Structure 1
């Protein structure tokens, strides 16, 4: 993500920033005949804007974040970070567990009594939990005692992956987050994936063991990750931009390590018609993978565990997208070491990962998201998101022959391309 920061701004300057950029976006939406943002049930799920106006949107969000904190004042801001956070999570968990959003139709106004009956919960509890959600624009109360959908609650029904993401956060991440400090005290400095807050909640099971089993939790995890990856910040256009490949520089062979069923590699192959790719993942994953007709002859799948020696030798590129952030340095180094026997002079190892910015360089709004991702990796995996120095150090720990580590990140992307060249 591009680092543009508003620091030490007066509340008037921040308000002007919001006003000026909001006017730009409003003018564009009106000129295109597009709806202005609202909480009405016919509002679109995502505000689609051209790149220049996405920057305006970012400036609004950053200025709003800072203006709210300044206007609240230090004590009120700190207390607001505590009470609403845990309470909205409680409300969201209830909405997910009791299927409240799907218990009544769009356009229907339903009483709290009826919701309680349909969802099999106490009426008083239903009223209190839903009104907390309404205070955060989830649902609306058009007349006293009756609930209707808002734009946000509608998409809990119409976007099943969003609902699964909410469930993943409330039922897996939130309980783990509450026990992270306990895990740090119990296993100080540990890099083991079973020494985590998640393990404390799940009878000693690591995240991958618990959620790797076939079942509802496994499906929810897969759906939640699909939802997360569908966000604009993960769009593959950012990857294509940061790879900087053209007809002259595009490699001829690539190995997608831990590439699941090849969704990313298939799009890469469609963009670069001279490239051939091997996608590797565990046997149970690749067994059900299929090769689309338009990339037949250029895509193969192989069962491979990346904690064993890389079997595909002398490829031009070994590509790992969102793999190493799941592992502590101890295990991430092992993954890189297992690539070394396969590398030829000039081979590139290309990671597509978060690269944390230097402190005090990213706007607060975006810093909150990235620092949150980092702590989520800690509580669930004992792993982390890394900054540029940590990525370069990781390659050096694996083998000093990795050199020329270049890092590129397109504006609006949460993932960077981190490229190391094998120099033997």
Structure 2
């Protein structure tokens, strides 16, 4: 495809989005301080518009990469030289609370004033912020003074964003730097205690055990913040991380008053979405004792309606132990499996099988990556692949495509069979329905 043809595609998709934004009196996308913090396309907009946005991002990246040239894009573009220094700059901005040091005024602040407010050397601050301006984070509108852009304002005002960046720029960044060392030392990535994270933080604990240490519990808070950020704001190209994929991806009405066991269900956010819509269903939310204690104490805030709330109970349980609840209709896992390698996921599934009655289902909500070569290399695909590397370096986990899910199910038990992989529109996750072949 020629550059002109790609540019024509860009124009087509941009015009479609412009028309929708204008017709619905939405704010124009802008990097200015008072511009919208998120792209102004609501989740309820027609799916064709969400696809146009994804296609626009893909075509824009394609034409940039082509005009930079294949060799230079590897060396000087967003790959070999830039990525880790981008992370370094973002980590410094977040850790030193640089955005908080700049007032939301046209005058902004001088580098000397930012240095005084943050306690960081002025030359260091100057060079870090000047790199940030190349990413449209801050605007050096005159030599030596910067003011906010929409991105830096978000870093000042959005507490969820501040927390969500921490796991990526702390544990993720440091683990990535030790990945090659981990491969050389440990070989494969099936074990959760032999990862790049273990080398980076000099620990024999897996990540989840490590962040439960009293001196490390702030990391658990930031991890929770990252999850809340994704659920609220979605991912690249507006893909949603909310409970909508749970509602849309499985026919809950067919259970006719059955029992759902939400394994590793944390604070019960799925139940808060499902219970009001399915009045005959009962739910048991299982998680580790500290999580269950906190979740059960606060569930009334999440689901205030007593009629719905009374059908949800909590139980302390580890999914690495045999499932104690017999004869449920659905054993449900949301955002669990990608944390673990195939070896551990197979153990989790095996622990369910003895408790399954005839007709019971295992329902998994998790990433379903596109098959290799089946989709364009969009920014959203890049985000998902980065997520896969994040899981591998931190936990030994992985993101899976359809073939990987079929392989995992058979690894757990030959009698398990995937009945359906549903990919709801505009959702990050797929819904995987699994049955036990009883013949």
Is the Cα–Cα contact under 8 Å of residues 338 and 399 in structure 2 kept in the other structure? yes
Residue ranges of structure 1 left out of the alignment (5+ in a row)? 1-8
> Counterpart in 1 of 2:126?
127
Q: Where does 1:304-319 land on structure 2 (aligned, <5 Å)?
A: 304-319=317-332
Cα deviation for residue 250 of structure 1 reads 5.6
Cα deviation for residue 114 of structure 1 reads 0.6
Cα deviation for residue 373 of structure 1 reads 1.0
SS in 2 for 1:228: helix
> Counterpart in 2 of 1:323?
336
Is the Cα–Cα contact under 8 Å of residues 241 and 427 in structure 2 kept in the other structure? yes
Cα deviation for residue 190 of structure 1 reads 4.4
Residue ranges of structure 2 left out of the alignment (5+ in a row)? none
SS in 2 for 1:212: coil
Is the Cα–Cα contact under 8 Å of residues 345 and 423 in structure 1 kept in the other structure? no
> Counterpart in 2 of 1:52?
48
The 2-side partners of 1:221 and 1:249 are apart by 34
SS in 1 for 2:32: coil
User: Over aligned residues, Cα RMSD in angstroms?
Assistant: 1.5
1:27 partnered with 2:40: no
Cα deviation for residue 192 of structure 1 reads 1.2
> Counterpart in 2 of 1:37?
29
* C-alpha distance after superposition, 1:1-35 (max 9, x if no partner): xxxxxxxx322121111111111111111122111
The 2-side partners of 1:337 and 1:407 are apart by 20
Q: Where does 1:98-113 land on structure 2 (aligned, <5 Å)?
A: 98-107=96-105, 108-113=107-112
Q: How many residues align?
A: 415
Q: Where does 1:104-253 land on structure 2 (aligned, <5 Å)?
A: 104-107=102-105, 108-204=107-203, 205-214=205-214, 215-230=217-232, 231=234, 232-245=239-252, 247-248=253-254, 252-253=258-259
Q: Calculate the TM-score normalised by the size of structure 2.
A: 0.91
1:417 partnered with 2:431: yes
SS in 2 for 1:130: helix
The 1-side partners of 2:407 and 2:401 are apart by 10
Q: 1:78 to 1:251 in 2, by over 3 A?
A: farther
The 2-side partners of 1:21 and 1:244 are apart by 34
Larger relative contact order (Cα-Cα within 8 Å, sequence gap ≥ 6): 1
1:12 partnered with 2:23: no
> Counterpart in 2 of 1:92?
90
The 1-side partners of 2:386 and 2:311 are apart by 38
Cα deviation for residue 178 of structure 1 reads 1.1
Is the Cα–Cα contact under 8 Å of residues 166 and 222 in structure 2 kept in the other structure? yes
The 2-side partners of 1:251 and 1:178 are apart by 50
* C-alpha distance after superposition, 1:263-293 (max 9, x if no partner): 1221111222221111000111111222433
